Amino acid sequence: MKKIVIYETTYGSTESYAKRIAEELGATIKKHEQIRVEKLADYDLVIIGTCLLSGKIYDTDRIEQWINTYPDKTWGLFTVGLSNPSLTDFEPIFKDNFSEVVQKRITPFHFRGTIRYKRLNLMYGLLNKAHINRQSSIDTVPLDDAGLALLKTYGTIIDSSDADSINPLIEWVEEAEEKHKEAN
């Protein structure tokens, strides 16, 4: 099975995950802008990596085009964002970002990225202007211990990426390869 990992990165976390995944799978790796839809004809399995920010998945129009052009391929999508995958329901996010047809063709995964506060300009500006105390966040929602711990990290770089978090995606690819072998 010929595999490719295609990614778009904003803060660098998606690129890091894409490189690890491609290396683990022995797959070709390319940035979104390096791929023309015609080139995807050469691959059986396509894994797309992109960022998830404020409930929006980056470059969905292009992803939809690729998947609709080659519906017979095996499609995986991983998003990278700040939310904890074990605490977040991603189904509504995928429904808001992709058509029903594309949702049925994609196997989704989500990984945590790196918080680089200086690059989160809006957050940076808001937090600098807001009066924050131990009992409340910027919108006066009481913070639990996890929220307080996160707030204490403000101004630093927090790498929440986890090399082992790609394991379910790797296992999914291995299962897809087995099915492909059995079918041929």
Q: Which residues contact 80 (CB under 8 A, 6 or more apart)?
A: 13, 14, 17, 49, 50, 51, 52, 110, 111, 112, 113, 161
Predicted TM-score (pTM) of the model is 0.77
Q: If DSSP codes are grouped into helix, strand and coil, which group holds residue 137?
A: coil
Residue 134 shares a structural domain with residue 56:
no
What was the pLDDT predicted at 161?
Answer: 56
Residue range(s) defining the domain that contains residue 123? 114-159
What was the pLDDT predicted at 30?
Answer: 97
* Residue 169 tokens, joined: 């995606």
Residue 102 shares a structural domain with residue 155:
no
Residue 72 shares a structural domain with residue 96:
yes
State the total domains in the chain: 2
What was the pLDDT predicted at 77?
Answer: 97
Residue 72 shares a structural domain with residue 92:
yes
Residue 76 shares a structural domain with residue 154:
no
22, containing H or E segment: helix 13-25
Write out the DSSP string of 73-117: SEEEEEEEESS-TTT---HHHHHHHS-HHHHHHEEEEEEE-EEEG
What was the pLDDT predicted at 38?
Answer: 93
**What would the pLDDT profile of 128-139 be if each residue is shown by its tens digit?**
454 444 444 444
Residue 6 backbone dihedrals phi, psi, to 5 degrees: -115, 135
What was the pLDDT predicted at 83?
Answer: 79
Residue 71 shares a structural domain with residue 92:
yes
Residue 79 shares a structural domain with residue 142:
no
Residues of the chain below pLDDT 70: 115-162
Q: Between helices 13-25 and 167-183, what is the axis angle to 10°?
A: 40
Residue 23 shares a structural domain with residue 106:
yes
Residue 87 shares a structural domain with residue 170:
yes
Residue 52 shares a structural domain with residue 121:
no
Residue 146 shares a structural domain with residue 87:
no
What was the pLDDT predicted at 82?
Answer: 79
List the CATH number of the domain containing 106. Answer: 3.40.50.360
Residue 22 shares a structural domain with residue 52:
yes
**What would the pLDDT profile of 14-55 be if each residue is shown by its tens digit?**
999 999 999 999 999 999 999 999 999 999 999 999 998 878
Rounded distance between C-alpha atoms, residue 7 and residue 109, angstroms = 14
What was the pLDDT predicted at 160?
Answer: 54
Rounded distance between C-alpha atoms, residue 71 and residue 48, angstroms = 15
Rounded distance between C-alpha atoms, residue 11 and residue 155, angstroms = 15
